[in-house]
Amino acid sequence: MGRSLPPALLVLLPVLLRGGEASPRRSPSLQSPAGACGRRPAVNELATGSRIIGGRDAPPGAWPWQVSLQIHHIPVGYRHICGGSLISHNLVLTAAHCIKNNRDPEMWRVVIGMHHLYKDYPYTVKNQVKDILIHSHFELATNENDVALFKLIKPVKYNAYIQPICLPETSLLLTDETPCYISGWGSTKENGVGEHILQEAQVDIIPLRICNKFDWYAGAISLNTICAGSASGNVDSCQGDSGGPLVCYFPNASRYYLLGITSAGVGCGRPKYPGLYVRTANYRNWIDSQLLNKAISVNIQFVLFFLTAGRMLLHNVL
């Protein structure tokens, strides 16, 4: 009898292994297609104004999924390191290279619903981090798989200034007319300093066959990357914008979708060297599997706990 499981546990095992919530696609922490995402209750659905050269101050609430990832610094409190995008009540998608110097969740906080980096608004939420999940094939040297997830300790409530962004579905059809935008508190020029008011800019999606031309990125850009900006280099992201969103508006769905994660670039705003963004659509499985792995590992811990408890009980009884 020593090694066999108690009958009650055998009945419980499949339930524990499957995970309380079943598959992550149906888990409440992930957005459902019909659920609230990609909407901007505080401003017009479509960003107003025509082409933006460089960037401009975003109106408050314009990018309600934009978060600031901040790290604890002893004399100054917290410092903005990277951007990120809220994808559900408790998940923020960002770039893996943002965490290269500090992987300890306790050192970070996530600030959601912000406009000016150093001002608090009634709707601003500051959240501690429970877990940081980094893509296991992230490579710092090449920026391949530059994806990470921050799991928040406390789920955040949505309001007009805090909303999740939709993750792309394969059926999204991007045309030359699809308006796409970047946002962030990063530098407004190469080697510059960060902005205090959230900046926004409209960008062109640049096809890989152009981006990979020999006098552009010369074939170095993979299918997991989106090039965006402008051919002349006037519009771009820069240091401090990393991890933040590249979103496009799809009028048929009346929603914004997270097409990319700000990742890298040669300099900032240089002609023929547009910004490089992680192609989010290629990482949907990774995002889902991360949540599933977590659920399984928690359940295995449960099983181990029950096994040990069961064995101890048997020892005491026999």
Secondary structure percentages of the chain, helix, strand, coil, to 5: 20, 30, 50
CA distance 216 to 168: 27
| Residue number with the smallest Cβ distance to ligand ARG | 265
Stretch that binds ligand ARG, among 5-13, 166-174, 257-265, 295-303 (CB under 6 A): 257-265
Closer CB to ligand ARG, 61 or 240, in the complex: 240
Give Cα separations from 196 to 62, 116, 127, 185 (angstroms).
15, 5, 20, 6
State in angstroms the smallest separation of the CB of 164 from ligand ARG: 22
Which positions are catalytic? Answer: 97, 146, 242
Closest CA to 85 of 263, 208, 204: 263
State in angstroms the smallest separation of the CB of 67 from ligand ARG: 14
CA distance 262 to 84: 9
Q: Binding of ligand ARG at residue 164 (CB under 6 A)?
A: no
Which of 135, 246, 275, 283 binds ligand ARG (CB under 6 A)? It is 275
CA distance 35 to 105: 29
Find all residues with CB under 8 Å of 234, minimum gap 6, and list them: 53, 54, 269
Q: Binding of ligand ARG at residue 84 (CB under 6 A)?
A: no
Site for ligand ARG in 233-252 (CB under 6 A): 236-242
Q: Binding of ligand ARG at residue 186 (CB under 6 A)?
A: yes
State in angstroms the smallest separation of the CB of 93 from ligand ARG: 15
Q: What is the DSSP letter of 156?
A: P
Q: What residues line the site for ligand ARG (CB under 6 A)?
A: 186, 236-242, 262, 264-265, 268, 275
